[in-house]
Amino acid sequence: MTAHSEMPKTEKTKTVHIKSYGCQMNVYDASRMGDVLAPLGYQAGDDMASADLVILNTCHIREKAAEKVYSELGRLRMEKDRRAGSDNPMVIAVGGCVAQAEGEEILRRAPYVDMVFGPQTYHRLPLMLRTLESGKRAVVDTEFPAEDKFDQLPDAGKVDGASAFLTVQEGCDKFCTFCVVPYTRGAEFSRPADPVLREARLLVGKGAREITLLGQNVNAYHGETPDGGEWTLGRLIRELADIDGLDRIRYITSYPAEVDEDLISAHRDVPELMPFLHLPVQAGSDKVLKAMNRRHTSGDYADVVRRLRDAQPDLALSSDFIVGFPGETDADFEQTMALVRDIGFVQAYSFKYSPRQGTPAADMDEQVPEKVMSARLAELQDELNRQQLAFNDHCVGQTMPVLFDRPGVRDGQLVGRSPFMQAVHCELPNAHLGEIVDVMIDKAKPNSLSSVPLVKPSTTDDHNIRGAVA
């Protein structure tokens, strides 16, 4: 997380430790929580046990998310008890999507928690802290407020590395039958174009060279402009690309049925838009996709991918898959495998279906037995891993520009991202942190590449890797 450098001298310095689970939007939210708390004297602290304020910024999407939060809270309780009555008591807060879904239930099961707030109310953290200080035992704020959270947030603080996140869209109206997001993040909302451009310029001014635009359905973006018009995501990307010093643009996560011509042509025309796209398909069987309430068939997905690849032949694809959705037969699963073989992915996330209370799929008949799900997941992951390694192998000998944004585990080594989101290691002095350096890939591993710097600089369009995984 980040913290303001201009700390008011009047307040005692306190530490806040924010532990984020789940998606990149939670990472972004955590950093904005830091911005909100900085004027109150809170600095980021690495040590959870000694922090004045601990925030668990939770995720509710899969598996036993809520249970994991309760067991983490159990551990924190011991620390809180130990410090009770001392001059540095611990305040425990639960934010994020589990907080939104569970609300008061968290206080019932963990009465030592002080604050519970959802993803739409963290701009009110100062108010919540004041309420606690005034003697209230605990605060729960899981509303979907009328005000725009982003209007209330202070400017983004320090940029952590050369790659920054920027939320442009939030919430989801798609109601896939397995998914809690429409209930925890709320209805689809796009930030107006002006504040997005302003925040992007600010991030670049603070050292960001790459910005990843975030949204649960980021390609549903339709941001108002001051003249009363509206920008699509494609248009927004074109405008962002004009910012001096912003060299790379990415966006995540997209919904296949809403990929429009504007976005496709941005992939053709905007060199700053990286040739990598995370486009979740979930399954290959049209029967399952229908039961999931996805608004696309497997054929629609293939068609969108074809149009995108026509526009940007280098485009590398990533996706999300769910195996064992209720009613999924062996034949349905085979269609997922066929789709994976046909499309070709350079990386992907795949999950066993996990029922989320309150979603339609949780009450569907024909839940798939655990053993069957495990076998299908293993088969799918084998194929996805094979494709990922094939793509990585194919990169050996290629030159590509890498944005080095963190030190490696070994001294003298930096790690960065290729245009295709692969982690790339290179022996480089620290002076190159935050720079885009042309490197030659010399080794491929399943999850990363290693490289040597090129003496002779090459251009950014050296990455012709189409069809590597087909």
Residues at the interface with ligand SF4 (CB under 6 A): 172, 174-176, 179, 181-182, 216-217, 255
Q: Is 309 helix (H, G, I), strand (E, B) or coil?
A: helix
Contact call for residue 280 and ligand 5AD (CB under 6 A): yes
Query: Which window, 2-10, 127-135, 347-355, 455-463, contacts ligand 5AD (CB under 6 A)?
Result: 347-355
Strands 413-417 and 399-407: antiparallel
Cα-Cα-Cα-Cα torsion 449, 445, 468, 336, nearest 10 degrees, comes to: -130
Q: Which of 93, 322, 346, 449 binds ligand 5AD (CB under 6 A)?
A: 322
Alpha-carbon distance of 306 to 301, in angstroms, equals 9
Helix 125-133 vs helix 24-37: angle between axes, to the nearest 10 degrees? 50
Contact call for residue 353 and ligand 5AD (CB under 6 A): yes
Query: Which window, 149-157, 224-232, 350-358, 454-462, contacts ligand 5AD (CB under 6 A)?
Result: 350-358
Query: Which window, 219-227, 302-310, 348-356, 460-468, contacts ligand 5AD (CB under 6 A)?
Result: 348-356
DSSP 282: B
241: enclosing H helix or E strand = helix 233-241
20: enclosing H helix or E strand = strand 14-20
User: What would the x/- binding string for ligand 5AD be over residues 56 to 95, using CB under 6 A?
Assistant: -----xx---------------------------------
Quick one: tokens of 78?
A: 């011991």
Q: In terms of CB distance, is 367 or 413 closer to ligand 5AD?
A: 367
Contact call for residue 404 and ligand 5AD (CB under 6 A): no
Quick one: tokens of 359?
A: 């979603």
**Do the beta carbons of residue 225 and residue 193 sit within 8 Å?**
yes
Q: Is the four-CA dihedral 102, 107, 110, 116 of positive or negative sign?
A: positive
Strands 413-417 and 347-352: unpaired
Q: In terms of CB distance, is 238 or 376 closer to ligand 5AD?
A: 376
Residue 230: strand pairing partners: 224
Q: In terms of CB distance, is 181 or 437 closer to ligand SF4?
A: 181
Contact call for residue 351 and ligand 5AD (CB under 6 A): yes
User: In whole angstroms, how close is the CB of 369 to ligand 5AD at the nearest point?
Assistant: 15
166-185 binders of ligand 5AD (CB under 6 A)? 178-179
Q: With CB cut-offs between 5 and 8 Å by kind, which of ligand 5AD, ligand SF4, none does residue 216 bind?
A: ligand SF4
Residues forming contacts to ligand 5AD in the complex (CB under 6 A) are 61-62, 178-179, 280, 282, 320, 322, 351, 353-354, 356
